[in-house]
């Protein structure tokens, strides 16, 4: 529980620092994608515990973690929604699905991303940003 609690509290705090900056929604989203990948790079073991071992928490602790994860997701969804409203992001996609896509892609990276491997964290961040902010169409 301590690993889960510390991990998500730190992520939410750093996410809030990004949100509070005078940035565009696109810049905030880029910063949060970087936050998630750098976190996997820098805190690999704790990240694996956080992503894989939640099912081993007791119910009360699991409920608390689900609420904090929901808060982190909701913060991203708010950025995407604000970006749609401001005209930065397209308005023909469901905001919740875009948010789940961002989290699914970035969070799953802990399974295969090796910071000492062929792909650097910076390269991975660039690719993910392009996928979400530009798409893969020519």
Q: Look up the CATH number of the domain holding residue 10.
A: 1.10.357.10
At 27-40, the pLDDT tens digits run: 999 999 999 999 88
pTM strictly above 0.75? yes
Residue 23 is predicted with a pLDDT of 97
Asked if residue 15 belongs to a domain, the reply is: yes
At 61-71, the pLDDT tens digits run: 667 777 888 89
Asked if residue 82 belongs to a domain, the reply is: yes
At 93-112, the pLDDT tens digits run: 999 999 999 999 998 888 88
Is the model's pLDDT at 53 over the cut of 80? no
Taking each helix axis from N to C terminus, what angle separates 121-133 and 25-42, rounded to the nearest 10 degrees?
150
- Domain extent at residue 104: 2-133
Asked if residue 6 belongs to a domain, the reply is: yes
Say how far apart CA 84 and CA 94 lie, in whole Å: 10
Say how far apart CA 118 and CA 113 lie, in whole Å: 9
């Amino acid at each position: 529980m301590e690993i889960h609690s510390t991990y998500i509290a730190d992520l939410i705090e750093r996410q809030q620092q990004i949100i509070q900056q005078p940035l565009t929604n696109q810049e905030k989203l880029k910063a949060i994608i970087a936050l998630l990948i750098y976190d996997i790079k820098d805190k690999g073991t704790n990240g694996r515990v956080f992503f894989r071992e939640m099912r081993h928490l007791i119910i009360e602790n699991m409920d608390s973690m689900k609420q904090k994860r929901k808060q982190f997701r909701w913060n991203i969804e708010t950025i995407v929604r604000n970006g749609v409203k401001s005209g930065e992001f397209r308005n023909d996609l469901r905001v919740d699905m875009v948010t789940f896509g961002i989290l699914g892609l970035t969070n799953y990276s802990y399974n295969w991303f090796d910071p000492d491997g062929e792909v650097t964290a910076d390269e991975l961040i660039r690719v993910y940003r392009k996928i979400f902010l530009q798409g893969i169409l020519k």
